Amino acid sequence: MFTVTGEGPVFHLYNEFVSLVLAVRTDPEGGYQEVCLTHFGYPIDEPLNTLDRLILENGSSNDSLRQIMPYAFPTEGRGDYRVPLFAEAYEDGGNCTELYYEDYRYAAGKPKLEGLPQTYTEQDDEAETLTIILRDPLTKLKVEASITLFAHRPAIASSMKIVNEGSEKLTLSRAGSLCLALPGHFDMVQLWGSWGKERYVQRVPSATLVRSISSSRGASGHEHNPFAILCDPNADEFSGRCFGVSFVYSGDFEIAVQENAYDQTRLVCGLNPRSLDWPLAPGECFQTPEAVAVYSEQGFNGVSHVYHDLYRTRLCRGYWRDRPRPVLINNWEGTTFYFDHEKIMDIARSAAALGIEMLVLDDGWFGQRNNDHSSLGDWFVNYDKLPRGIKGLAEDVNALGMKFGLWFEPEMISPISELYEAHPDWCLHADGRPRTTARHQLTLDMSRTDVQDFVIESVASMLRSAPIDYVKWDMNRNFSEIGSSVSNRHGLPHRYMLGVYRVMEALIQEFPTVLFEGCSSGGGRFDPGFLYYMPQFWTSDDTDAVERLKIQYGTSFAYPNCTISAHVSASPNHQVGRVTGIKMRGDVALGGNFGYELDLPNQTTDEEKEVIREQVKLVKKIRETTHSGVFTRLLSPFEGNITAWSYADENRVILCAYRVLSTVKRGPVYVRLHDIPQGTYQDQNGKTYTERDLMNAGIKLEFPRQDFASMVTIFEKVK
Ligand code: GLA
């Protein structure tokens, strides 16, 4: 719903869960009009309270007042020293920008952003969009700030279109997507990590300094995820005010939070200014990606529930969005580069016999790729390994009743490759400097249209040549020497990302029923931007069941289960050497896009195969619930020895609990469930419970006497 009142005017976007108020203040001294964000959070009736009015009526030509204005679109250079949303550099060296209110537009629905990932609506009544038009009176720079409020969700999407309507060339050094001005102090929760340790939860207490997370690696990265929560200091998983922020983008980003001495907090989210430097000539326009902000009074789970539902249904797209994902077997951890047609068929036959639905052939099927030193870019079949080609292999796999999937790393080039011999200038490089390799490879310059077209054609011609149902899209290094043969470095990381988005869009349009899965040395580009093109992501190269508890728990803060790929691998585990049982490994993976990652005939005993058969059966039975049900975190692996979470929909509740180390039994441990739909439920032993029993009395956790133990209880709804 939307109201606009007063001469100011004051804009109020609201629904039953959230209100956002943008107030235009006319400066009593200067006469100019600035836009302030006077409220974002709980639903309110009166858009302005007395405090807001006092702030708005003060003159701000004095810099001490500029420092306390809750600006919605703050700029650089005019006495507000906090982190700005926008900053421009002019040819004469100036960097001062003022953005004054000019006009607004309001419309039902959500406009489409060209060439960028985005949340979307299917009907116009699912959202409403307010566009505020701002202008710098001196340079004529125009900003159109679009804020969409989703119906029946405490969520907004915000993005900016910047148009140079002046006569002077300028450079955008900062072009943010969202600014929140919030009264009070907040803890910041963020997801940090490294390779094999993605999205660990970290809570940083309130402090009067800039807390920022970012990437300047060319990908959203393993180190920080483009996601944060600002929360009350006493907020937890179930209660407390929280503001979630998520950036729908896969490259360099920054989320910066700054508190001042006047109990005010500003959050700015957008492209990383370190690598933007975007030249904007007269007449040109720049569209920022969008950021999605969420408000909840039900703690971190409350924030996650909103993102899960929005991203599952209105960010992910296409044929696979609502469909249960096939249980797969991937050969990577089982064979690495050492396989041939027969070896893969042995795995496929063994998998088919256990009910597994798809075989994925990973790295090593192309060029001369027998290790990671060569051949990226040479996307033609290695007939020494696969005499019947990918087509022959895929057909043989299909004959077993299974789908077939294939690995690519399309954005890369090995210096030892036919592609590099033909096009040494196609990689990112800085003239006169050595080319830094990582995993023996360089990055293709995806900002070039000819390179984009080559990548589209390489992947498309393979997909046209054989019955391929799934693609794993990997990206195993970050940028260095960010330069190009055809353009200067300005804005190159963003142009790279736009190139990747163009390529992915072309491929998903041509192959709408292929299931695409993102990957980046595990989960190094697990972000909402990617999920717009590929509805699932390989969560981490660390497949150890104990390590995965933290990785999957943290990932679930922002991302729904239907995007989180989770596989059972061999024991001892490849990455950490830990020995865990097949049950624990299966129970940890079962809620994600489930699969196996081992040499099934040679790395499992007959007994384990029988467990696998039951696991596959169970996953097929419950996967609709784990895909679309409400996922709730109950006990955190970051806080104790026991982790628990649950999935709930109209049919059943699934409680999963894991104990890392065995301890002396000192009385029963109970876990209370949350967010359970009303009804009567029955567990595997025929015992019945109401939703109130599950949420108030809780369930007794019983583990076998051993380390690395798990328990999965399914409560079927009986009425
Ligand atoms: C990356 C991926 C792995 C695997 C290898 C293959 O590390 O994360 O899953 O595909 O590449 O080289």
The finding on whether 34 has its CB within 6 A of some atom of ligand 1 is no
Of residues 651, 660, 659, 646, the one with CA closest to residue 698 = 646
Pairing of strands 127-135, 403-408: unpaired
The set of residues, in sequence order, having a beta carbon less than 8 Å from that of 117 and lying 6+ positions away, is 248, 249, 250, 289, 315, 501, 528, 529, 530, 531, 532, 533
Of residues 619, 644, 650, 620, the one with CA closest to residue 632 = 644
Note the pLDDT of residue 92: 85
Note the pLDDT of residue 47: 84
Angle subtended by helix axes 449-465 and 492-510, to nearest 10? 30
Of residues 259, 353, 284, the one with CA closest to residue 70 = 259
**Run means of pLDDT, 10 residues per run, the chain, 719 residues:** 88 97 89 93 86 68 79 93 93 90 97 98 98 96 98 98 96 97 97 98 95 98 98 98 98 97 95 95 98 98 98 98 98 97 98 98 98 98 97 98 98 98 97 96 98 98 98 98 87 97 98 98 98 98 98 98 98 97 98 97 97 98 98 98 97 98 86 97 96 96 95 96
Note the pLDDT of residue 59: 65
652 neighbors 587 (Cβ within 8 angstroms):
no
The set of residues, in sequence order, having a beta carbon less than 8 Å from that of 93 and lying 6+ positions away, is none
Residue 457 DSSP code = H
Distance between CA atoms of residues 142 and 166, nearest Å: 9
Using most ligand atoms within 8 A of CB, pick from 365, 407, 517, 567 the residue to mutate for ligand 1: 407
Long-range residue pairs from 461-467, CB within 8 A, at least 24 positions apart, any chain: 461/379, 462/379, 462/390, 462/406, 462/408, 463/507, 463/510, 463/511, 463/514, 465/389, 465/390, 465/391, 466/389, 466/390, 466/391, 466/393, 466/394, 466/395, 466/404, 467/391, 467/394, 467/395, 467/398, 467/404
Length of the chain: 719
Give residue 566 CA to ligand 1 midpoint distance, Å. Answer: 14
Q: How far, in Å, are 158, 159, 161, 287, 289 from residue 113 at the CA level?
A: 11, 9, 10, 8, 8
Give 711's Cβ-side CA count (13 Å radius).
22
Q: Which atom of ligand 1 is nearest to the CA of 597?
A: 9
500: tokens are 């990747």
482 neighbors 494 (Cβ within 8 angstroms):
no
Distance between CA atoms of residues 13 and 145, nearest Å: 14
How is the chain split among helix, strand and coil, in percent rounded to 5? 25, 35, 45
Using most ligand atoms within 8 A of CB, pick from 360, 362, 540 the residue to mutate for ligand 1: 362
Give residue 362 CA to ligand 1 midpoint distance, Å. Answer: 8
Distance between CA atoms of residues 121 and 638, nearest Å: 36
Pairing of strands 470-473, 242-247: unpaired
The finding on whether 332 has its CB within 6 A of some atom of ligand 1 is yes
Say whether 441 sits in a helix, a strand or coil: strand
Give residue 217 CA to ligand 1 midpoint distance, Å. Answer: 18
Q: Which atom of ligand 1 is nearest to the CA of 519?
A: 8
Distance between CA atoms of residues 601 and 598, nearest Å: 9
Terminal C-alpha separation, the chain = 37
Q: Taking the alpha carbons of 673, 676, 678, 683 in that order, is the dihedral positive or negative?
A: negative
Instruction: Quote the Cα angle for 628-632-637, to 5°.
Output: 130
- Burial of 437 (C-beta count, 10 Å sphere; 0-12/13-18/19+): middle
Q: What element of type H or E holds 647?
A: strand 642-648
Note the pLDDT of residue 665: 75
Residue in the structure block whose two tokens are 């949420």: 695
The finding on whether 522 has its CB within 6 A of some atom of ligand 1 is yes
